[in-house]
């Protein structure tokens, strides 16, 4: 995003210097199966990866499955209210335990093959005929845990044996988004997009509005493409804010569609905040809702994107609540973005492609590339 003058919201703008000579990544980073495998090993298997939000599993027994670096992980809330992450693998003969994407378990997780049964906290509590096996000890055969932790109500999983504590990883963002009450927000809609483009192109596209005037005319009418400023300009968390026209909201109608998600002053209500959180989260904070993109890379040339819209829980009780006003607007903008990302993927795949020069309005994509290379090298 490009730095221009506008009255600053509560976040302090960080001075950023465009690095002359910065160029886009080489072709192999977007099309190489070997590079994709390296990313899975060095990034998605080692770092904290967004998988969902705590409101998805509000009740004991609620669960969902998540794909992380080729692994299936079951995320479930137990009877005490604690949230756990387990590899979706039975400790008997390795059968996958749960096939559905989400649902509700009565009290246990039971293998569909030989009926080994686990408590919601992962303990093996039933193993037919295994008492006949000398020396068999159920306590040695609990489900394998995946590291799981919460940040602002969002659930993250790390497959590494000893990842850095999540609170340490997110320390630079401590308290930054508290005004939006993210842990308490409730999702109204999820749309899954299957995008024929490399996952890094999604991040780079999200991180600049150089393209907005031409690609997003509807968005630019409400939020001028030259109104952006950045307050996080290096590292795994990048982004900033843009102005919203006075009295407007980023909706199809142009009007606010829900209660404010937090306490915002008059001036605060005129800004939208966009942040990329390495390696698979895009967080968009509006006065009346929050939008989150969760990226799930499938191959060098394909990315699944789960987009969810979150609102104040009290908004759902009001007759004037219209989440589709926001959903429709961003579904339109998303599809515009995915189209140009797919065009980029097609062009980058050509033998004619070579790295291009970033403009001064693309300092954040250039910074994202630097952070990516730091993890992959």
pLDDT of residue 265: 79
Asked if residues 143 and 153 have their Cβ atoms less than 8 Å apart, the reply is no
Which phi and psi (to 5°) does residue 86 adopt?
-130, 145
Instruction: Please count the other Cβ atoms lying within 10 Å of the Cβ belonging to residue 168.
Output: 9
- Give the pLDDT of the chain (377 residues) as one tens digit per residue: 443 334 556 666 665 666 778 999 999 999 999 999 999 999 999 999 999 999 999 999 999 999 999 999 999 999 999 999 999 999 999 999 999 999 999 899 999 999 999 999 999 999 999 999 999 999 999 999 999 999 999 999 999 999 999 999 999 999 999 999 999 999 999 999 999 999 999 999 999 999 999 999 999 999 999 999 999 999 999 999 999 999 999 999 999 999 999 988 777 789 999 999 999 999 999 999 999 999 999 999 999 999 999 999 999 999 999 999 999 999 999 999 999 999 999 999 999 999 999 999 999 999 999 999 999 98
pLDDT of residue 268: 75
Which phi and psi (to 5°) does residue 346 adopt?
-65, -40
Helix (H, G, I), strand (E, B) or coil at 299: strand
Sequence-ordered strand ranges (E) for the chain? 49-53, 62-68, 71-77, 83-87, 102-104, 108-110, 117-119, 124-126, 147-151, 154-158, 186-195, 229-232, 237-243, 271-277, 281-285, 290-299, 302-311
pLDDT of residue 312: 97
What CA dihedral angle connects 60, 61, 67 and 73, to 10 degrees? Answer: 100
Provide the pairing of β-strand 281-285 with 271-277: antiparallel
Task: Determine the Cα–Cα distance for residues 272 and 80; give it in Å rounded to an integer.
Answer: 37
Task: Determine the Cα–Cα distance for residues 108 and 125; give it in Å rounded to an integer.
Answer: 9
Task: Determine the Cα–Cα distance for residues 105 and 375; give it in Å rounded to an integer.
Answer: 38
Residue range 28-46+178-376, CATH number: 3.90.380.10
Helix (H, G, I), strand (E, B) or coil at 297: strand
Q: Is the peptide bond before 299 cis (omega within 30 degrees of 0)?
A: no
Do domains 28-46+178-376 and 49-162 share one topology? The answer is no
Q: Decide yes or no: CATH 1.10.260.40 for domain 49-162.
A: no
pLDDT of residue 19: 79
Task: Determine the Cα–Cα distance for residues 240 and 247; give it in Å rounded to an integer.
Answer: 21
pLDDT of residue 9: 66
Please give the structure tokens belonging to residue 225: 């493409």
**Torsion sign over Cα 181, 182, 187, 193:** positive
Length of the chain: 377
Task: Determine the Cα–Cα distance for residues 85 and 321; give it in Å rounded to an integer.
Answer: 34
pLDDT of residue 249: 96
Please give the structure tokens belonging to residue 351: 């033998």
pLDDT of residue 11: 67
Asked if residues 197 and 298 have their Cβ atoms less than 8 Å apart, the reply is no
pLDDT of residue 4: 38
Instruction: Please count the other Cβ atoms lying within 10 Å of the Cβ belonging to residue 240.
Output: 24
Asked if residues 36 and 268 have their Cβ atoms less than 8 Å apart, the reply is no
What does the domain layout of the chain look like in residue ranges? 28-46+178-376, 49-162
pLDDT of residue 5: 38
pLDDT of residue 310: 98
- What's this model's pTM, rounded to 2 decimal places? 0.94
Task: Determine the Cα–Cα distance for residues 52 and 157; give it in Å rounded to an integer.
Answer: 9
Helix (H, G, I), strand (E, B) or coil at 145: strand
């Amino acid at each position: 995003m490009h730095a221009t003058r506008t009255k600053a919201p509560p976040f302090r703008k960080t001075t950023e210097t465009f690095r002359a000579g910065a160029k886009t990544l080489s072709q192999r980073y977007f099309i190489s199966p070997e590079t994709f495998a390296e990313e899975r090993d060095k990034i998605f298997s080692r770092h904290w990866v967004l998988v969902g939000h705590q409101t998805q599993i509000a009740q004991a027994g609620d669960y969902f499955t998540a794909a992380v670096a080729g692994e299936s992980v079951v995320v479930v809330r137990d009877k005490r209210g604690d949230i756990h992450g387990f590899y979706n693998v039975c400790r008997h003969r390795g059968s996958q335990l749960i096939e559905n994407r989400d649902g509700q378990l009565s009290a246990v997780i039971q293998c569909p093959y030989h009926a080994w049964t686990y408590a919601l906290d992962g303990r093996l509590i039933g193993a037919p005929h295994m008492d006949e096996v000398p020396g068999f000890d159920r306590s040695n055969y609990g489900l394998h845990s995946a590291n799981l932790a919460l940040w602002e109500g969002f659930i993250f999983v790390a497959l590494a044996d000893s990842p850095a504590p999540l609170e340490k990883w997110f320390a630079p963002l401590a308290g930054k988004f508290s005004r939006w009450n993210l842990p308490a927000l409730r999702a109204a809609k999820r749309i899954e997009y299957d995008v024929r483009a490399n996952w890094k192109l999604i991040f780079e596209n999200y991180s600049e509005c150089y393209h907005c005037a031409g690609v997003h005319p509807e968005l630019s009418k409400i939020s001028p493409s030259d109104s952006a400023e950045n307050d996080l300009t290096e590292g795994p968390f990048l982004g900033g804010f843009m102005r919203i026209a006075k009295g407007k909201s980023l909706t199809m109608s142009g009007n606010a569609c829900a209660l404010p998600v937090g306490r915002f002053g008059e001036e605060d209500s005129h800004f939208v905040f966009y942040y990329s959180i390495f390696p698979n989260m895009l967080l968009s904070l509006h006065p009346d809702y929050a939008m989150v993109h969760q990226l799930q890379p499938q191959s060098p040339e394909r990315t699944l994107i789960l987009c969810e819209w979150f609102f104040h829980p009290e908004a759902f009780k009001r007759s004037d609540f219209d989440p589709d006003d926001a959903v429709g607007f961003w579904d339109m903008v998303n599809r515009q973005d995915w189209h140009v990302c797919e065009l980029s993927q097609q062009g980058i795949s050509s033998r004619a492609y070579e790295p291009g020069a970033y403009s001064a309005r693309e300092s954040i994509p250039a910074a994202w590339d630097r952070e990516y290379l730091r993890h992959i090298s």
